[in-house]
Amino acid sequence: MDQATALVALSEKDLEITRATKKLSELPEKTAILDLRHKLREIEALSAKASVYVSQLHAALKRTEDETATISEKIVAEQAKVNSGAITNHKELQSLSREIDSLARQKDKKENEVLAAMEKLEAGKAQAEKVAATVEKGKLKEAQLISQFQKVGGELQTSIDRAIKERAALAGVLEAPLLARYEAVRAAKHGMGVGILQGDMCSACRIDLPFERIQALVSGGAIGECPSCHRLLVVPESARS
Ligand SMILES: [Zn+2]
Protein backbone atom coordinates (compact mmCIF):
# COMPACT_ATOMS: atom_id res chain seq x y z
CA MET A 1 0.00 0.00 0.00
CA ASP A 2 1.46 3.39 -0.98
CA GLN A 3 1.65 6.28 1.48
CA ALA A 4 -1.24 8.26 -0.04
CA THR A 5 -3.61 5.28 -0.05
CA ALA A 6 -2.67 4.40 3.53
CA LEU A 7 -3.12 8.03 4.59
CA VAL A 8 -6.64 8.23 3.11
CA ALA A 9 -7.56 4.86 4.63
CA LEU A 10 -6.20 5.94 8.03
CA SER A 11 -8.17 9.17 7.89
CA GLU A 12 -11.36 7.30 6.98
CA LYS A 13 -10.74 4.79 9.79
CA ASP A 14 -10.28 7.61 12.30
CA LEU A 15 -13.56 9.21 11.22
CA GLU A 16 -15.28 5.83 11.53
CA ILE A 17 -13.91 5.39 15.07
CA THR A 18 -14.98 8.93 16.04
CA ARG A 19 -18.49 8.39 14.67
CA ALA A 20 -18.91 5.01 16.38
CA THR A 21 -17.59 6.34 19.71
CA LYS A 22 -20.01 9.27 19.53
CA LYS A 23 -22.86 6.92 18.68
CA LEU A 24 -21.96 4.71 21.66
CA SER A 25 -22.00 7.65 24.04
CA GLU A 26 -25.32 8.89 22.65
CA LEU A 27 -27.20 5.59 22.48
CA PRO A 28 -30.90 6.26 23.18
CA GLU A 29 -30.87 3.39 25.68
CA LYS A 30 -28.27 5.28 27.72
CA THR A 31 -30.35 8.46 27.85
CA ALA A 32 -33.42 6.40 28.70
CA ILE A 33 -31.56 4.71 31.58
CA LEU A 34 -30.43 8.07 32.97
CA ASP A 35 -33.94 9.53 32.69
CA LEU A 36 -35.47 6.49 34.32
CA ARG A 37 -32.95 6.51 37.17
CA HIS A 38 -33.77 10.14 37.85
CA LYS A 39 -37.49 9.32 38.06
CA LEU A 40 -36.79 6.21 40.14
CA ARG A 41 -34.91 8.24 42.73
CA GLU A 42 -37.90 10.56 43.07
CA ILE A 43 -40.35 7.67 43.44
CA GLU A 44 -38.08 5.92 45.93
CA ALA A 45 -38.00 9.07 48.05
CA LEU A 46 -41.79 9.16 47.87
CA SER A 47 -41.93 5.50 48.84
CA ALA A 48 -39.72 6.11 51.88
CA LYS A 49 -42.01 8.96 52.96
CA ALA A 50 -45.08 6.74 52.52
CA SER A 51 -43.47 4.06 54.75
CA VAL A 52 -42.80 6.61 57.48
CA TYR A 53 -46.39 7.83 57.22
CA VAL A 54 -47.74 4.26 57.51
CA SER A 55 -45.67 3.58 60.64
CA GLN A 56 -46.93 6.84 62.12
CA LEU A 57 -50.51 5.71 61.43
CA HIS A 58 -49.70 2.33 63.03
CA ALA A 59 -48.45 4.07 66.15
CA ALA A 60 -51.50 6.33 66.27
CA LEU A 61 -53.84 3.35 66.00
CA LYS A 62 -51.97 1.46 68.72
CA ARG A 63 -52.14 4.51 71.00
CA THR A 64 -55.89 4.89 70.52
CA GLU A 65 -56.43 1.14 71.08
CA ASP A 66 -54.41 1.31 74.31
CA GLU A 67 -56.43 4.28 75.50
CA THR A 68 -59.64 2.39 74.74
CA ALA A 69 -58.40 -0.65 76.67
CA THR A 70 -57.49 1.52 79.67
CA ILE A 71 -61.00 2.98 79.73
CA SER A 72 -62.51 -0.51 79.44
CA GLU A 73 -60.43 -1.67 82.39
CA LYS A 74 -61.62 1.30 84.44
CA ILE A 75 -65.27 0.50 83.61
CA VAL A 76 -64.79 -3.14 84.66
CA ALA A 77 -63.16 -2.04 87.92
CA GLU A 78 -65.88 0.50 88.72
CA GLN A 79 -68.62 -1.99 87.82
CA ALA A 80 -66.97 -4.57 90.10
CA LYS A 81 -67.15 -2.07 92.96
CA VAL A 82 -70.91 -1.67 92.33
CA ASN A 83 -71.47 -5.40 92.00
CA SER A 84 -69.47 -6.24 95.14
CA GLY A 85 -72.20 -4.74 97.33
CA ALA A 86 -69.49 -3.19 99.45
CA ILE A 87 -70.78 0.29 98.73
CA THR A 88 -74.14 0.87 100.32
CA ASN A 89 -74.17 4.64 100.44
CA HIS A 90 -76.77 5.79 97.93
CA LYS A 91 -74.94 8.98 96.93
CA GLU A 92 -71.70 7.11 96.48
CA LEU A 93 -73.46 4.53 94.30
CA GLN A 94 -75.04 7.32 92.22
CA SER A 95 -71.67 8.98 91.74
CA LEU A 96 -70.15 5.63 90.71
CA SER A 97 -72.93 5.05 88.23
CA ARG A 98 -72.41 8.51 86.71
CA GLU A 99 -68.69 7.80 86.49
CA ILE A 100 -69.38 4.53 84.68
CA ASP A 101 -71.73 6.31 82.22
CA SER A 102 -69.11 8.95 81.53
CA LEU A 103 -66.44 6.27 80.98
CA ALA A 104 -68.79 4.41 78.61
CA ARG A 105 -69.23 7.60 76.55
CA GLN A 106 -65.48 8.09 76.47
CA LYS A 107 -65.06 4.49 75.36
CA ASP A 108 -67.62 4.97 72.54
CA LYS A 109 -65.72 8.02 71.36
CA LYS A 110 -62.40 6.18 71.49
CA GLU A 111 -63.81 3.22 69.61
CA ASN A 112 -64.91 5.55 66.81
CA GLU A 113 -61.43 7.00 66.79
CA VAL A 114 -59.99 3.49 66.49
CA LEU A 115 -62.20 2.81 63.46
CA ALA A 116 -61.17 6.07 61.83
CA ALA A 117 -57.49 5.33 62.53
CA MET A 118 -57.89 1.86 60.99
CA GLU A 119 -59.42 3.33 57.84
CA LYS A 120 -56.62 5.88 57.59
CA LEU A 121 -54.04 3.15 58.07
CA GLU A 122 -55.59 0.97 55.36
CA ALA A 123 -55.67 3.89 52.93
CA GLY A 124 -52.06 4.77 53.79
CA LYS A 125 -50.94 1.16 53.32
CA ALA A 126 -52.70 0.95 49.94
CA GLN A 127 -50.99 4.16 48.83
CA ALA A 128 -47.58 2.94 50.03
CA GLU A 129 -48.05 -0.40 48.24
CA LYS A 130 -48.96 1.41 45.05
CA VAL A 131 -45.80 3.53 45.23
CA ALA A 132 -43.67 0.47 46.07
CA ALA A 133 -45.16 -1.35 43.05
CA THR A 134 -44.23 1.62 40.84
CA VAL A 135 -40.65 1.41 42.15
CA GLU A 136 -40.52 -2.32 41.37
CA LYS A 137 -41.90 -1.74 37.88
CA GLY A 138 -39.32 0.99 37.30
CA LYS A 139 -36.48 -1.27 38.45
CA LEU A 140 -37.63 -3.98 36.07
CA LYS A 141 -37.71 -1.50 33.20
CA GLU A 142 -34.24 -0.30 34.20
CA ALA A 143 -32.88 -3.86 34.05
CA GLN A 144 -34.42 -4.32 30.59
CA LEU A 145 -32.89 -1.08 29.34
CA ILE A 146 -29.49 -2.02 30.77
CA SER A 147 -29.46 -5.39 29.03
CA GLN A 148 -30.57 -3.72 25.78
CA PHE A 149 -27.82 -1.12 26.20
CA GLN A 150 -25.25 -3.83 26.86
CA LYS A 151 -26.32 -5.68 23.72
CA VAL A 152 -26.32 -2.68 21.35
CA GLY A 153 -23.38 -1.03 23.10
CA GLY A 154 -21.43 -4.30 23.14
CA GLU A 155 -21.81 -4.69 19.37
CA LEU A 156 -20.70 -1.10 18.83
CA GLN A 157 -17.75 -1.53 21.18
CA THR A 158 -16.66 -4.67 19.33
CA SER A 159 -16.65 -2.83 16.01
CA ILE A 160 -14.76 0.09 17.60
CA ASP A 161 -12.13 -2.30 18.98
CA ARG A 162 -11.77 -3.88 15.54
CA ALA A 163 -11.45 -0.47 13.86
CA ILE A 164 -8.78 0.56 16.38
CA LYS A 165 -6.71 -2.52 15.45
CA GLU A 166 -7.13 -1.78 11.74
CA ARG A 167 -6.15 1.81 12.42
CA ALA A 168 -2.93 0.70 14.12
CA ALA A 169 -2.05 -1.43 11.10
CA LEU A 170 -2.63 1.50 8.74
CA ALA A 171 -0.63 3.85 10.96
CA GLY A 172 2.20 1.29 10.82
CA VAL A 173 2.31 1.66 7.03
CA LEU A 174 2.92 5.41 7.18
CA GLU A 175 6.42 6.78 7.48
CA ALA A 176 7.00 8.33 10.89
CA PRO A 177 7.25 12.02 9.82
CA LEU A 178 4.07 11.74 7.75
CA LEU A 179 2.22 10.03 10.58
CA ALA A 180 3.36 12.70 13.03
CA ARG A 181 2.22 15.44 10.65
CA TYR A 182 -1.12 13.70 10.16
CA GLU A 183 -1.69 13.39 13.92
CA ALA A 184 -0.84 17.06 14.46
CA VAL A 185 -3.18 18.29 11.69
CA ARG A 186 -5.92 15.93 12.83
CA ALA A 187 -5.70 17.25 16.39
CA ALA A 188 -5.79 20.85 15.14
CA LYS A 189 -8.66 20.21 12.72
CA HIS A 190 -11.18 18.52 15.02
CA GLY A 191 -10.47 14.99 13.88
CA MET A 192 -10.27 15.41 10.11
CA GLY A 193 -6.68 15.68 8.98
CA VAL A 194 -6.84 14.76 5.29
CA GLY A 195 -8.56 16.12 2.22
CA ILE A 196 -8.57 14.74 -1.30
CA LEU A 197 -8.22 16.94 -4.35
CA GLN A 198 -11.46 16.45 -6.25
CA GLY A 199 -11.33 18.46 -9.45
CA ASP A 200 -10.41 21.94 -8.20
CA MET A 201 -11.75 21.36 -4.74
CA CYS A 202 -10.34 20.14 -1.43
CA SER A 203 -12.81 17.51 -0.19
CA ALA A 204 -12.22 18.49 3.44
CA CYS A 205 -12.82 22.26 3.36
CA ARG A 206 -14.75 22.18 0.07
CA ILE A 207 -12.99 25.28 -1.21
CA ASP A 208 -12.19 25.62 -4.93
CA LEU A 209 -8.47 26.20 -5.23
CA PRO A 210 -6.89 28.63 -7.69
CA PHE A 211 -5.37 27.18 -10.86
CA GLU A 212 -1.76 27.96 -9.98
CA ARG A 213 -2.13 26.25 -6.59
CA ILE A 214 -3.49 23.14 -8.22
CA GLN A 215 -0.63 23.15 -10.70
CA ALA A 216 1.86 23.33 -7.82
CA LEU A 217 0.09 20.48 -5.99
CA VAL A 218 -0.10 18.25 -9.02
CA SER A 219 3.58 18.69 -9.79
CA GLY A 220 4.48 18.29 -6.10
CA GLY A 221 3.59 14.64 -5.65
CA ALA A 222 0.84 12.49 -4.16
CA ILE A 223 0.62 14.21 -0.77
CA GLY A 224 0.59 17.97 -0.43
CA GLU A 225 -1.10 20.54 1.77
CA CYS A 226 -4.40 22.31 1.11
CA PRO A 227 -3.53 26.03 0.78
CA SER A 228 -6.96 26.86 2.19
CA CYS A 229 -7.45 24.61 5.26
CA HIS A 230 -3.83 23.43 5.61
CA ARG A 231 -4.83 19.81 5.93
CA LEU A 232 -2.81 17.12 4.17
CA LEU A 233 -4.15 17.02 0.64
CA VAL A 234 -3.94 13.82 -1.33
CA VAL A 235 -3.63 14.38 -5.06
CA PRO A 236 -5.11 11.38 -6.90
CA GLU A 237 -3.02 9.68 -9.53
CA SER A 238 -5.61 10.62 -12.18
CA ALA A 239 -4.92 14.32 -11.51
CA ARG A 240 -1.17 13.84 -11.73
CA SER A 241 -1.00 12.01 -15.03
ZN1 LIG B 1 -8.83 22.16 2.37
Q: pLDDT, tens digit, for every residue of 5-38? A: 999 999 999 999 999 999 999 999 989 999 999 9
49, pLDDT greater than 90: yes
Within the chain, strands assigned E span 194-198, 201-202, 223-225, 232-234
pLDDT tens digits for 79-100?
Answer: 999 999 888 899 999 999 999 9
Q: What is the pLDDT of residue 42?
A: 96
Residue type, 93: L
112, pLDDT greater than 90: yes
Percent of the chain with pLDDT over 90: 93
CA of 69 to the centre of ligand 1 (A): 92
241, pLDDT greater than 80: no
pLDDT tens digits for 204-222?
Answer: 999 999 999 999 999 988 9
pLDDT tens digits for 127-178?
Answer: 999 999 999 999 999 999 999 999 999 999 999 999 999 999 999 999 999 9
CA of 54 to the centre of ligand 1 (A): 70
Q: What is the pLDDT of residue 46?
A: 95
pTM of the model: 0.65
183, pLDDT greater than 80: yes
Inter-residue contact 17 to 166 (CB < 8 Å): no
CA of 124 to the centre of ligand 1 (A): 69
Helix (H, G, I), strand (E, B) or coil at 89: coil
CA of 29 to the centre of ligand 1 (A): 37
Whole-number Å distance between alpha carbons of 117 and 209: 86
Whole-number Å distance between alpha carbons of 180 and 163: 20
CA of 225 to the centre of ligand 1 (A): 8
Query: SS3 helix, strand, coil % of the chain, rounded to 5?
Result: 80, 5, 15
CA of 99 to the centre of ligand 1 (A): 104
**CA distances for 162 relative to 6, 124, 155, 176, angstroms:** 17, 56, 11, 23
239, pLDDT greater than 90: no
CA of 209 to the centre of ligand 1 (A): 9
CA of 193 to the centre of ligand 1 (A): 10
pLDDT tens digits for 32-46?
Answer: 999 999 999 999 999
Inter-residue contact 109 to 95 (CB < 8 Å): no
Residue type, 165: K
CA of 85 to the centre of ligand 1 (A): 117
H or E element at residue 5: helix 3-25
Domains of the chain by start residue, with CATH: 13-174 (1.10.287.1490), 177-240 (no CATH)
Task: Identify which of 217, 205, 196, 192 has the alpha carbon closest to the alpha carbon of residue 4.
Answer: 196
CA of 138 to the centre of ligand 1 (A): 51
Inter-residue contact 238 to 227 (CB < 8 Å): no
Q: What is the pLDDT of residue 128?
A: 96
β-sheet bridge partners, residue 223: 234
